[in-house]
Chain A
Amino acid sequence: MLKLENTTIKFGGLIAVNEVNVEIEEGSIFGLIGPNGAGKTTLFNIISGVNKPTSGKVIFNGKEIQGIQPYKINQLGIARTYQNINLFKKMTVLENVMVGCHSMSKSGFFSSIFRTKGQEEEEKYIVEKSMEILEFMELKDKSSFKASNLSYGEQRRLEISRALASDPKLLLLDEPAAGMNGKEKEELSEIIKKINKKGITVLLVEHDMKLVMKITDTICVLNYGKKLALGNPLAIQNNKEVIEAYLGGGLSV
């Protein structure tokens, strides 16, 4: 589904991502791990169009997408969340998700001003769809809250809801469990599995090893921008290089 071919990005003299080759299979949950500064978020930014790779390709469903504007990437079917929460704080929870519906709706300027039938129906559909997503993410009873009034874990879930609203085929989650407590993490892993069951491929960057090992099908380990290892959770746990570079001593999961 998504394929990175020799993807490299340099910031001045720093090679943040160095010749990474990865293929993500459709319908899988793919984990991306690595120590701080390994280039995980940069890789995310390359896929979502924020950064343009210096060389190499990003192929999504057979189409080269490197260097395309972020909003077009979203329209192609890749949605993302952010490491530092990037919600529209002054909008309500429902409105946040409704913004997420932007790329799957199409009413224009004049149909909005004259409130044509098509536009009204589309608005109704957007509201219904957004409420469905909020119900799925267990945020429905908070739909009229301001986004900034949600708890931390709820804000993270709202980010995922908003990303889901654009009907993505690939969902990029950048440290969704950061700052969550144990119970919230449990709920989150259930939610990610549920999203995956809907047929959405998930690419997950996460520091919480327990969570990653539990839900992913394949894991890619990055270190200093280079791919260190690729394999299923068990293989990664027993990979000597990975243990040395990242996990330090023994691993007890």
Chain B
Amino acid sequence: MENVNTNSMIDAIKNRMGILKDNKIKTIGIIAVVAVIAYMLQERYLSLILCFICINSIAVSGLDILFGYTGQVSFGHAGFYAIGAYTSTLLSMKANVPVILSILLAALLAMIFGTIIAFPASKLVKHFLSLMTIAFGQMVFMFISVTDKLTNGFSGIMNIPNIKVLGYTFTSNQSYFLLFATVTVFVVIGKKRLIDSRIGRALIAVRENPHAAAGMGINVRFYKILAFAVSAFLTGLAGAFYAHLMGFISPDTFTANQSNIFMTMLLFGGIASLVGPVIGSAILVIVTELMQSFVSYQMLIYAFFILAVLFYLPNGVVGIAAKIKAFLVKRRERKVK
């Protein structure tokens, strides 16, 4: 009897891991759906919005690894976003680095900055950490605003080249969307694999109980720094994408507001989940677009979103979905009885 039990347990776990194989089908499915959507979206404006959703999903997924899974708060992610955007822009325009390479280098530079920040940050918790990350965001913002010669200050940089891959130049918003959507899918899959691995468990253990984690042989400081590095890499990547998509960047995009927007997206979508950042980005981007005429009230609207999360949706939209699912399962069980 007991042996049967063990086997069925192991089978269940194997099945869980078998999702990976299904994942490949899922990936192809998602890409196909995305292609159809893109084809239908002949309209430039709508595909631009979809591009924004993808870019924000990548950045917010990065923030989720840091905040959702490792429990380290950051209100300075606009800093990494800016580093990604400016580095790729400057490399491709001033140093003539091929655009796809400049994007990678930009994300790597953001990662290096993330690692450097993480050394002091890994010793801080709660409000001390938030203050430090706010300071970091402000420092990057000040740097790009003040260095006129390099970044052209508040006038911004125009005519940023388009992304080129293997001789193909992305020009239309639809083509950009295809590219960004593919990257987003890969980021989400990579994130899932990371979280399901030994490293992901270590990150969650650090969030849940750093003392016990250290007692279990987990180098808490190393994993905190790793989370910062991965997070900064993804947000930097998103920043670089943003720059090449828009063709124009200025410091106005990279204010503390942007960090707050990332945080709102994450909280509203649902922290420590795979689809939460994507849902949060989608809802907030769409709401922002619908509210274009009330731009000056933008932060007020976001504040309402945060309040809604604090009082009614502790786990965001994903949490609500899980609750509904649990409710339905219970009801079905009752009916069976």
Contacts and interface: CB of A to CB of B under 8 A. Distances in A.
Interface of A: 48, 50, 69-71, 74-75, 79-80, 82, 86-91, 95, 98-103, 105, 107-109, 112-115, 119-120, 122-124, 126-128, 131, 135, 140-141, 143, 162-163, 165-166
For chain B, which range describes its interface: under 10, 10 to 19, 20 to 34, or 35 or more residues?
Answer: 20 to 34
Given A82-B212, A166-B217, A140 B9 contact: yes
A71 to B, nearest CB: 5
A69 B214 contact: yes
Given A48-B215, A86-B209, A90-B204, 13 more contacts: A74-B215, A79-B216, A88-B208, A99-B201, A102-B202, A103-B218, A109-B199, A113-B193, A113-B194, A120-B17, A131-B10, A141-B5, A163-B216
Contact of A112 (B9, B193, B213, B218): B193
B26 to A, nearest CB: 15
A119 B196 CA distance: 11
**Is chain A's binding surface mostly helix, strand, loop or mixed?**
helix
B129 to A, nearest CB: 20
Contacts of B5: 140-141
Nearest to A48: B215
A50 B10 CA distance: 36
B268 to A, nearest CB: 20
A126 B198 contact: yes
Contacts of A114: 193
Contacts of B17: 120, 123-124
Interface string B230-259: 000000000000000000000000000000
Contacts of B213: 88, 99
Contacts of B2: 135
A29 B219 CA distance: 29
Contacts of A112: 193-194, 197-200
B13 A88 contact: no
B335 to A, nearest CB: 23
A83 to B, nearest CB: 12
